[in-house]
Amino acid sequence: MAFYKIALLIAVAATVVEGQRPFYAGSRPIGYPEIVQNEDLLSNRFGVDEPVPLEVRGDRNLVYRLKQLPEDNQPFWYLNWRQYDEARRQPQSWPQRPSFFNQNNGRK
């Protein structure tokens, strides 16, 4: 009978210990993910990245190939990204009109 109690105690302890982290979470410690150093990333030696769309995913050769294509053969997402990038660099702004609601109308 004592053997069953010890076996049950060990099984319960093992279950509690293993249940602290789910099996699908992996065996590495929780924290920041590993950074993969890839030489094909679009960055220079000073750490300033070239502006590229997210769809490129760091593929330098794809950017070069897309730039060499005629504009009518370039994919829409690349053309769209270029238009948005130009709009971000030169935003349009208009002067604000005075608001009727901000005037105190003689009240204190």
Position 52 scores a pLDDT of: 75
Q: What is the rounded CA–CA span in Å between residue 59 and residue 67?
A: 13
Q: What is the rounded CA–CA span in Å between residue 6 and residue 11?
A: 9
Confidence of residue 68 (pLDDT cuts 50, 70, 90): very high
Specify the higher pLDDT residue, 56 or 37. 56
Q: How far is CA 96 from CA 42, 54, 87, 88, 93, in A?
A: 40, 34, 20, 20, 9
Comparing CA positions, the residue from 48, 49, 84, 46 lying closest to residue 63 is 49
Range with lowest mean pLDDT among 27-36, 53-62, 73-82: 27-36
**Length of the chain in residues, anyone?**
108
State what percent of residues in the chain have pLDDT above 70. 71
Domain ranges of the chain: 29-89
